[in-house]
Amino acid sequence: MAKVYYDQDVNWDAISGKKVAIIGYGSQGHAHALNLKESGIDITVGLYAGSKSAQKAKDAGLKVAEVADAVKDADITMILIPDEIQAKIYKTEIAPNLKAGSALAFAHGFNIHFQQIQPPEDIDVFMVAPKGPGHLVRRTFAEGGGVPDIFAVYQDASGKAWDIALAYARGIGGTRSGVIKTTFQEETETDLFGEQAVLCGGITHLITAGFETLVKAGYQPEIAYFECFHEMKLIVDLMYEGGMAKMRHSISDTAEYGDYTAGPRLVTDKTKKEMENILTDIQDGSFATKWLTENKAGRAQFYAMRRRHAEHQIEEVGGKLRKMMSWLDKKEN
Ligand SMILES: NC(=O)C1=CN([C@@H]2O[C@H](COP(=O)(O)OP(=O)(O)OC[C@H]3O[C@@H](n4cnc5c(N)ncnc54)[C@H](OP(=O)(O)O)[C@@H]3O)[C@@H](O)[C@H]2O)C=CC1
Ligand SMILES: CC(=O)[C@](C)(O)C(=O)O
Ligand SMILES: [Mg+2]
Ligand SMILES: [Mg+2]
């Protein structure tokens, strides 16, 4: 069993009194900046001139500077801009301004693992990767909870990089729920696999296929939405709270019998073989090459897929039904 680190395992002096630059103020950036600030850390958000996030950060009471200026003063620079542009911004804005003896940090290992960024040897390089969407890293922290993190050290020039990383994890709330040591390779490969095969790719296409099956068979699209999409959170909430057992305790025996008999007809050996193929594409770098090439070519295919999915009937039907559920409207970054 892996060692799981909690609040009491942290040497808070490793980060207390340090200046932290959070580069980017999006899903993860806003969460890290606000959580760390509320944990007592001196935060400056680094953004580009004209960034639409800058006013949001200022309205939240955070110091905002251009990237180079935020990095210059920082003891820790956490890069929370999109993976596909990190190498360029690192080269032009971050690398020339990194203080000797400071630390460079990431929330995903993509650019270090696939060698898009090669940091100087005289700085610490670490990662604190939340196992959850940034908006929930923030919401959970504000509610007194925390999203688990996994953390890694790529370079330990100071001899304190592990302590700094663990203290950072506490600053964003990770050690409230548990933090596990990893490597940049393990985080990168497992995160890419999880988001493609299960959390994002897997679940959205499963839900959509269920919706399309019912609609094609002539059932009302609104019922197909409630059944295959809206109820998913309610089912997963029970699993989140108490494992599959708690969900299976709450559902009917009829549903539980259907769970055991229909599930293996859907997730077959063929499915598992394709999961292994997805993992191979990640491990051999071909996914990373495709993603970076798509970005260099202007993201036309990416935008076309985004548009096609946004225009799907399930989003139209769901949007109308959710409009009547005012409690779902969470004002977030
Ligand atoms: N999203 C998630 O929940 C998770 C993300 N991660 C990792 O976190 C990192 C950040 O991802 P994510 O939070 O999703 O990113 P987002 O796309 O949500 O946010 C990107 C932020 O970067 C800013 N930005 C864009 N270009 C620049 C630039 N040139 N200089 C400075 N700031 C810039 C954007 O500003 P503006 O909006 O003004 O353009 C925005 O504030 C990635 O490495 C990702 O893999 C890890 C775990 C989960
Ligand atoms: C939210 C998260 O963990 C992801 C899916 O890995 C991501 O947004 O990259
Ligand atoms: Mg992830
Ligand atoms: Mg990810």
Report the atom number in ligand 1 closest to the C-alpha of 134: 3
CB 117 within 8 A of CB 94: no
For residue 329, CA distances in Å to 80, 107, 259, 317, 325 come to 26, 27, 32, 17, 8
Sign of the CA dihedral 64, 65, 66, 68?
Answer: negative
Overall size of the chain counted in residues:
333
Q: Which of 58, 80, 106 to mutate to test the pocket of ligand 1 (most atoms within 8 A of CB)?
A: 80
Question: Would you say 138 and 333 are in contact if contact means Cβ atoms under 8 Å apart?
Answer: yes
What are the angstrom distances between the C-alpha of 302 and each of 21, 129, 306? 30, 25, 6
Tens digits of residue pLDDT in 276-289: 999 999 999 999 99
Residues in Cβ contact with 234 at an 8 Å cutoff, skipping those fewer than 6 apart: none
Collect all residues with Cβ–Cβ distance below 8 Å to 220 and sequence separation of at least 6.
none
Tokens coding 160: 């304190």
**In this structure, what DSSP letter does residue 26 have?**
S
Among 30, 32, 108, 113, the one annotated catalytic: 108
Question: Above 0.90 for ipTM, yes or no?
Answer: yes
**Tokens 């032009």, residue located:** 92
Annotated active-site residue 309? The verdict is: no
pTM (two decimals): 0.97
Reported as a single tens digit per residue, the pLDDT across 288-324 is 999 999 999 999 999 999 999 999 999 999 999 999 9
